[in-house]
Structures are given as structure tokens and as C-alpha cells.
A and B are shown apart, each in its own frame.
Chain A
Amino acid sequence: MSGWKFWVLMAVVSGLSCLPLLSSNNYLLQVVFRIALFAALGLAWNLVGGYAGQLSLGHAAFFGMGAYGLAIFTSHHIPMWISLILAALFATLIGGVIGKIVFRLRGPYFTLATIAFAEVLRLGAANLDITGGAIGLSTPSLFTGPSFWKLFYISSIALAVMSFLINYWTSRSRFGYYLMAIREDEETASAVGIDTANYKLRSLLISAFFTALAGALYGSAFQFIVPDSVLTIDISVQMAIIAMLGGAGTLLGPIIGAVLLLTASELFKNEFGERHLLIYGTLIVLVVLFLPEGIVGGLQERLKRRKKPPTGAIPSALGRAEVQGVEP
């Protein structure tokens, strides 16, 4: 997408995201809070799963560490906002340690290791005293008063914007190019001098930080956390699906994914009750079948195919006939 069109689109998106502030319907505000929060999560996941191509299904671990971190640090009389940052930094630190281990694995083994890591944390939280066991912990509310949901909505938008800017910077910096090279072929990446383990780890650190901030915000908004609400594999899967549905490794993909998936899920939930999961599943199957690159990725691919150089421009020593797609 060329420069000005992109920024016009961004202006429209930011305009739209201000609209809910006119309403004082708490249900509506809660829904848009979740959409913005999951857009931020999808964008955070996108760094590791999209640009670097490392399919993590353990991001609930960072989400949960953010939420539990906020609750535990504040219970030790640390001011709320400092606890929030501490929780995110703690998750990042643990992310560094875990990344060192799981990035030794590739493909499905990496994915399985990330699932295992998150499950260990979930079981730990369900059995330790400091986390309140299966009963859970109450989390401090970052905001109070009548505009409670409005303020939470604004902070989730702020988080989504920060995640977006990090993605934007990534998409046009050497760092992003290095991550994409790792995704496409790790051996080629190391042949051009990329320390692949190091760059994968860096992407995870940034991703873990933002995921933990989102987790803390979520915990704080709902004021109570249990292992099955913030450390469940559902969170990990949802982050991945949001990014992949919209288009993993694209800038707008995770945002579009979050808006579509959460709106659909909310509408169907009201209409069909528990059966909404069935529709949700069908939707995902359809996208995987017909748009495997995701919505944004699929559209970009179609645009790219239109650009073909004129026949005469290609030297025959490069296999001109094959580029043009005709038999020699």
C-alpha cells in the first residue's frame, strides 16, 4: 500500500475507534475494549508468529504473567502503575529464559514446547499459594468511577496503537527483514550473516512485553483472575487465529482479524448461545481453505501477481519463457 493511502486508512480507523466513546452503554464499551485488546494481542503475536514465522501457541503464558504479576506486585504494596510495568518486565525476562530453550526447536516441536510451557504455568498457578491456587486472585482496578469502561477502552486502544507502531517499524526496518528471512529459510538467513537464534529471541522479548501489558489490563478490567481465565490455551489459540485470519506477517491483518472474529463471536453468542462456537469454527475453516495467507495476505498476493515485466525486458538466459508462464 502506498504512503498516503495507508495514512488515510489509519486516520479512518482512528476516527472509527473514537466513536464508542460517545456511547455510555457499558456492554458496548466492554465489547470494543475486548476487540482493541485482542487487536493489540494479535499484533504482539504477529512479531513472533507472523514476521519471524515461529508458530507459538504459548502466548497465554505471558498474558497470564502480566495479569498475575499486577495482582501479586500490588498486594505487596507496590503502586499499581509501577506493578503494571514490573509485571510486563517480569514476563519479558521469563520470555528470554524460555526463548533460549524453545528456539532450539523448529516447526511443530517448537509449537509443542510453547504449549507445554504455558500449561506448566497454568498448572503451577492452579496449585501455588502465591497465585491463590484454583480460587484465583482479585486484581486491582486501574481505573474507577462511572467512566470505568471508557477509560479501559482508551487504554486498550493506546496499547493497540503502541503494538501497531512496533509492527510498523518492524515492517520497514532491517530487524523486520531479518525476521522474514528467518521465517522463509533459516539456513539462507544464517548464510547472509544473521544470528537467527538472537533475532528470534528479540522478537519474542518485544512480543512478551506487550502481551503481558494486555494481560494485566484484562485482569484489571475484570477484577478477578483464575488460571483458567488468563493462562488457558484458548488465549494462545485466539491470538494466533486472529493474526492468521487477518494475515500473519502483515500490518493490518491482526487488526482486521480481531475486529472480524470478536464481532462475529459476540453476535453469534447472543443469537445462538453455545452453538456460536460451531459457526466460529466453520468461519476459520473457510478462511484456511480459501485464503490460506489470511485476508490481507491473500489480497496482497493477488495484487503482486498482476505485476509482470514485459517479455522483451527479460534476457533469455534467465528463462524468459518460464517467467511469462508459456511453454518454450
Chain B
Amino acid sequence: MTPILELKSVSRRFGGLRAVRDVSFGMQQGEILFVIGPNGAGKTTVFNLISGFLHPDEGTIIFNGHNITRMPPHDSARLGIGRTFQIVKPLPSLTVQQNVMLGAFMHTSSVVNAEKEAGKILSFLQMEPLKDLPARGLPLAALKRLEIARALATKPKLILLDEVVSGLTTAEALALAELVKRLPEWGVSVVGGVEHVMQVVMKIADRVVVLDYGAKIAEGKPEEVVKNPAVIEAYLGAKYKEIVQ
């Protein structure tokens, strides 16, 4: 089976900083993959590279058989890559429903159809009671879901969830994780990015890629990865590596 997404030796520099260096990984259709790593490890840069908001200096990115290495974001969105933003970016003066309709407009030009589609997605994310409120002033938990709803409305094949649970309380994060776990029902693969909410990662990830200082240091099933000495060192420092072992 050919992978839905494949990064081949991707690197990206910002001036002297090598934010992503020589990172390669792939994922299958329907998989939930999490990219984890400490603050500054390059997770968001990886998301920006996949979604076309940034382009790599070296390497190639293949999505569903298309080379998307240099594709602008609106084109990769049309190919089927939906994304959410780490720092939520709602359309503040539009209502929750209108925010989601904007995603749905990718496949229909009719306002009525877009409303219908938005309704389905909002009920999946349990957001129906909020649908007529303007996105401005909603609590973070609702805004995080709104990001997912808008991306899901474009009917993506792959959805990129950057720091999808950061800033949420544990209860809110776990409730959201349950929903993320069900995303493959909608025919989407998921790449999630999380800094440290391992509880969520352990619960829903099929596979984990660990970044540190822009380089991939480990990859595998979540329960294997958390035991990996390199991962423990990246998160807690060399001292803890010895204690754990």
C-alpha cells in the first residue's frame, strides 16, 4: 500500500537556525500519527511544511501520489490537506456555523448545502448549541473544536492538528481526544502535534514520531517510544535517563 503522506529528508532553515533537519517519515491511510517533541523541536514547522505555508530548503513531500513540496497552501488544501492552527485562528466576527461553512464551500457553491454540511460536522463535535454565536469570545475549548470542524468541512484526506489540546484542562483535553480518535470514521488520516500531554497521545496515537532540535530521534508505537532513552533525555535531561533505567 502506498503511503498517504511521505516526507523524504526534509530540511528547513530560518537564517542560522536549522528548524527541521533531514526529517523523514510516512503514514498510511486511516492512521493517527502524532509528532511530539519538547518546545522548539520543530513540530509547527513540520506542519507548515506539509500544509504549504512554508516550503522546505531540501527534501520532498509526497501526498497521495502528488509532489506537494512547493505547492501554495490553498492548492494543497484542495488536494485534501486540512489543518488547524496552534494559535487558534477563527474568523472572529463570523458565527460558529459560518466558520464551518467556509470549509464546506470547497465542495459546493450553494449556501444551503454548506449549511447542511456544517450542521453535520457541528453535531459530530457536539457544538450545535453554539452555532449562532460569533467566534469572537468563545472559550478556548470551543475554539479548538471549531478549528477541527472547519478543517473537517473541507472533506480532507489528511488533517493536521497542531497542538490540538494545548491550553485545555485535562477533562476538556480527554473529551476532545475521544473525538479525534473517531476522525478516521470520516475517512481522514490524522497527524497530530503535541508537546507534552502524553495522556492524550498514549490514548489515541497509532504511531509517534519524536522530534528534538529539528531532528527525528525516535519513531514507533507510543508505548515503545516513551521507554526510549533518547526520548526521555530530550524531555527530562540526561540525569533522568539513568534514573529510569
Contacts and interface: CB of A to CB of B under 8 A. Distances in A.
Contacts of B103: 192
Nearest to A317: B175
Contact of B172 (A192, A194, A317): A317
B79 to A, nearest CB: 9
A317 B105 contact: no
Interface string B159-188: 000000000000110011000000000000
Interface stretch (A85-93, A123-131, A176-184, A212-220): A176-184
Contacts of B176: 317
Given A177-B105, A187-B53, A192-B102, A318 B139 contact: yes
6 shortest interchain CB distances as A-B pairs: A319-B139, A184-B91, A317-B175, A322-B139, A193-B77, A313-B129
Interface of B: 51, 53, 72-75, 77-78, 82-83, 85, 89-94, 98, 101-103, 105-106, 108-111, 114, 126-127, 129-130, 132-134, 138-142, 145, 150-151, 153-154, 171-172, 175-176
Contacts of B171: 316-317
A82 interface: no
A191 B132 contact: no
A147 interface: no
A318 B150 contact: no
Interface stretch (A9-17, A260-268, A302-310): A302-310
Contact of A187 (B75, B85, B145): B85
Given A188-B90, A193-B75, 5 more contacts: A177-B101, A184-B90, A188-B89, A193-B78, A319-B142
Contact of B129 (A173, A191, A314, A317): A314
Interface string A72-115: 00000000000000000000000000000000000000000000
A5 interface: no
A290 to B, nearest CB: 18
Nearest to B101: A177
14 contacts: A172-B111, A173-B109, A177-B98, A177-B102, A187-B53, A188-B89, A191-B82, A192-B150, A195-B74, A315-B175, A317-B141, A318-B141, A319-B140, A319-B141
Interface residues of A, number: 33
A299 to B, nearest CB: 14
A185 B90 CA distance: 8
B224 to A, nearest CB: 30
A156 interface: no
A196 interface: yes
Given A181-B102, A188-B85, A307-B132, A318 B91 contact: no
B236 to A, nearest CB: 30
Contacts of A304: 134
Contacts of B77: 190-193
Nearest to B138: A323
A317 B165 CA distance: 12
